[in-house]
Amino acid sequence: MSVAGCDRRRRHEVRRGALWLATAMLAGGMGAGALSPRATGAQEVHVLTVIGLGGDPDYREAFLQWGLRIRTAVLERFGLPQENVTLLSEAPEMDPAVAGRSDREGVESAVAELARRAGPNDRVLVVLIGHGSYRAGEARFNLPGPDLDAREWGDLLTALGDRPVALVNTTSSSGPFVEATAAPNRTVITATKTGGERNETQFARFFAEALEGDAADLDKDGMLSLLEAFTYTRAEIARWYQEENLLLTEHALLDDNGDGEGSEEPSRDGPDGAVAAFFRLVPSTLVMAAPEVMGDSVLVRLMNERTALEARVAQLRARRDEMDRENYESQLEDLLVEIALKSREIEARGGGGTA
């Protein structure tokens, strides 16, 4: 065999081995974003919780408590630094943890600050708690003062660029937010399926619960993805309505393929769910900020690049049904090979190649 033939064969064997490794990694959970705890330290998560207009004192207190529970969970369980966690409320004087007022100006300022502070690969989670309304085909999140409607929220989030962004609207009449705010690399979760579901929702309560404990970690990998949090919350809502002997009046949706059509039962392999499976929170007990990792800028860069490649796999899989099969498989193979090769680079620098 010629030298050129040997080189081609060697490249083919390397590519085949890398593809096998990447496929095995994905089958073993990496397709859901199950990075090693060290790798997760290469990205940061920022959380903005906006508590809207409560109106009734009981609602104001309940909304605040749900917001505080989310804040406590991401700070204490997931170890986020305080500067990455912002809570806005209509009445900041109700609790010292509230950073500012949740009026239009306060919300716009908080999103602008996120756009300024968050790194290009950081993940941003925005949670809306309060009342929603739907009139004349327009869904709104009720704020003290002028409301922000669904399309205005979509415009606001564009300031965050191409970062992985998740918007969780826990209010009544939130369904139209799916279509209005959908975008590539964005997960949109709503408590209701339509604007017509106007009754009080339970989504915020059980979403906070999902962040607080281990029950929502459905695959028991020690991490919590937004897909898992959504699945847990939806199941607990159904259970609560059944126990209360009430008709289920909220049907949550998740959209993460950018088509503006949410799914009630998203999954890693469905039209929606693959991207949400990559948006993870990692308990602080698993975060291993080893000196050899945190002090190695090349290693951190490689980890960030691998995470970005995995997100591209999720986005590609979400578009599978609309693509030519040969084109889809070719792009998927290329990405899997890149992931495997990147993992080998990481392992060679002592960062741990697989989860």
pLDDT by residue (tens digit) across 281-315? 987 655 444 444 455 667 767 776 777 787 778 77
CA 177 – CA 108 distance, rounded (Å): 17
User: Which amino acid, residue 312?
Assistant: R
Facing residues of 125 across strands? 47, 166
pLDDT at 2: 52
User: Which amino acid, residue 132?
Assistant: G
Record: fold of 39-283: Rossmann fold (3.40.50)
Facing residues of 281 across strands? 224
CA 138 – CA 105 distance, rounded (Å): 21
pLDDT at 286: 52
Percent of the chain's residues with pLDDT above 90 = 60
- Name the helix (H) or strand (E) containing 212: helix 203-212
Q: What is the pTM of this model?
A: 0.78
pLDDT at 339: 84
Q: Is the pLDDT of residue 109 over 90?
A: yes
**Residue spans of alpha helices (H) in 28-137:** 37-40, 57-72, 104-117
Could you state, in order of their start, the residue ranges of all structural domains in the chain?
Answer: 39-283
Per the listing, tokens 């769910």 go with 273
Q: Is the pLDDT of residue 67 over 80?
A: yes
pLDDT at 307: 72
- Name the helix (H) or strand (E) containing 26: helix 3-27
Q: Is 289 strand, coil or helix?
A: coil
Half-sphere exposure of 217 (CA within 13 A, CB side): 14
pLDDT at 311: 73
Range with the poorest average pLDDT among 65-79, 209-223, 247-261, 322-336? 322-336
CA 310 – CA 308 distance, rounded (Å): 5
pLDDT digit string (tens) for 175-195?
999 999 999 989 999 999 999
C-alpha 240: how far from chain center = 25
Range with the poorest average pLDDT among 231-240, 246-255, 270-279, 332-341? 332-341
> What mean pLDDT is reported for the chain?
85
Q: Is the pLDDT of residue 40 over 90?
A: no
**Residue scoring higher pLDDT (66 or 10):** 66
Q: Is the pLDDT of residue 126 over 90?
A: yes
Q: Is the pLDDT of residue 103 over 50?
A: yes
CA 169 – CA 321 distance, rounded (Å): 28
Question: What integer is the mean pLDDT of 99-111?
Answer: 98
pLDDT at 308: 74
pLDDT at 322: 80
CA 301 – CA 165 distance, rounded (Å): 20
Q: Is the pLDDT of residue 159 over 90?
A: yes
pLDDT range class, residue 34, cuts 50, 70, 90: very low
